[in-house]
Amino acid sequence: MRAGLLGIEGLSREDIDVILSRSHDFQPPPRQPFKRFEILKGKTVVNLFFEASTRTRTSFEIAAKRLGAEIISITASGSSVSKGESLVDTLNTLGAMRPDAIVMRHAASGAPHFLSRYLPIPIVNAGDGTHEHPTQALLDARTILDRRQSLEDLRIAIIGDIAHSRVARSNVYLLSKYGARMVLCGPASLLPCELKSIAPGVELTTNMREAIEGADVIMMLRVQLERQHESPIPANEYFQFYGLRPEHISLANQNVIVMHPGPINRGREISSEVADSQRSAILNQVENGIAVRMAVLESVLAPEPAQQREELKAQ
């Protein structure tokens, strides 16, 4: 962890427990404003986004600020990237300005992993291509744990464009470490059979009803048309067969949690009735994103977490 956070796959259950429990400390009590901390005072974080993002970038910005760090956000358009600078040079240039960590989103799978071999600065992966989005999986787990005792033995349906989803991969890696049962569901062309072998506890189905039956959690994925080399399913058929609608909810377990990493496409993968219903935890996910990213930034940047914990309690 000290080296940064590149993905969930390489983490142990203990690593994840530490972040999840620490993020609980950072969640504000109901109806109270967020607190500001000085834990990362004097630290500088660069938020480097090579791909459009509003929520993740903002969430990291707020998380860093609430911990007392300076954060500078850079988006690829308008930067040296458009002048033909290579990724390594961009990062080396930023590295020469001595930030304490770089939060990075990039459209290429493995871009942060590749850079971490050459850069001494810790990198937090804020999403790499179709590979991983570790803080999303952590905030999803936090959101589930706010409503359930544990992740063990839960039945979790993940529905949508699984093949191109970094959210799905990170969630599969995380949930499987806790022995959850996952049903991945999507159109056949977006559901490679090899997914069954990437982690224990994964089932696949192209039938949405089958996926939802008995589910404790339904995670809907955004249809990522921009990540596809072709259009594997006619757009108008998508909502009919893979859009989450009120009639699906009764198939799931009582008190099923409906989640979505956002931004949601109403009427494409989720109906407004479901998105805005009592079952929906979508806005809680957004809120938890800040607490989880605070925990991640702290674990990457704060030298002695135990001491910090005392400081937090004292406040």
Partner 1 sequence: MSERLVIKNGRVVDPSQQMDAVLDVAIEDGLLRLIAPNIDATGGDTFDATGMVVAPGFIDMHVHLREPGFEYAETIESGSRAAAAGGFTSICCMPNTQPVNDSPTVTSYITERARRHAIVNVYPIGAITKNSAGEELAQITSMRHAGIVAISDDGRPVMNARLVRRAMEFAKSLNIPLIEHCEDLDLSAGGDMHEGVESVRLGLHGIPRASEDVMVARDILLAELTGARYHVAHISSRNAVDMVAFAKSRGLAVTAEATPHHFALADRDMQPYDSNYKMKPPLRAPRDVDAIARGLASGAIDAVATDHAPHPGDEKMQEFERCPFGIIGLETAIPLTLERLFHPGMVSLTRFVSMFTEKPAGILSLDKGTLKPGAAADVTIFALNPPWTYDVNKSPSKSRNTPFHGREFKGGAVATIVAGKIVWRRDDW
Q: Which residues bind partner 1 (CB under 8 A)?
A: 9, 86-88, 106, 108-111, 113-114, 128-132, 163, 166, 169, 192, 194-195, 197-198, 229
Whether the Cβ atoms of residue 134 and residue 167 lie closer than 8 Å to each other: no
Lookup: tokens for 281? 């935890």
Which of these is catalytic: 55, 113, 148, 196? Answer: 55
From the CB of 279, what's the least distance to partner 1, in Å? 30
Residue nearer to partner 1 on the CB measure, 194 or 226: 194
Which of these is catalytic: 106, 131, 133, 142? Answer: 133
Residue nearer to partner 1 on the CB measure, 184 or 296: 184
Q: Are strands 202-205 and 217-220 parallel, antiparallel or unpaired?
A: unpaired
Say whether 192 sits in a helix, a strand or coil.
coil
Whether the Cβ atoms of residue 50 and residue 91 lie closer than 8 Å to each other: no
* 56 counts as catalytic: yes
Which of these is catalytic: 2, 83, 98, 117? Answer: 83
From the CB of 309, what's the least distance to partner 1, in Å? 33
* 113 counts as catalytic: no
On the question of a cis peptide bond just before residue 263, with omega within 30 degrees of 0, the verdict is yes
Whether the Cβ atoms of residue 128 and residue 102 lie closer than 8 Å to each other: no
Say whether 103 sits in a helix, a strand or coil.
strand
* 55 counts as catalytic: yes
* 22 counts as catalytic: no
From the CB of 109, what's the least distance to partner 1, in Å? 4
Residue nearer to partner 1 on the CB measure, 133 or 248: 133
From the CB of 73, what's the least distance to partner 1, in Å? 21
Say whether 104 sits in a helix, a strand or coil.
strand
CA–CA separation, 224 and 221 (whole Å): 8
* 181 counts as catalytic: no
Please identify every residue annotated as catalytic.
55-56, 83, 105, 133
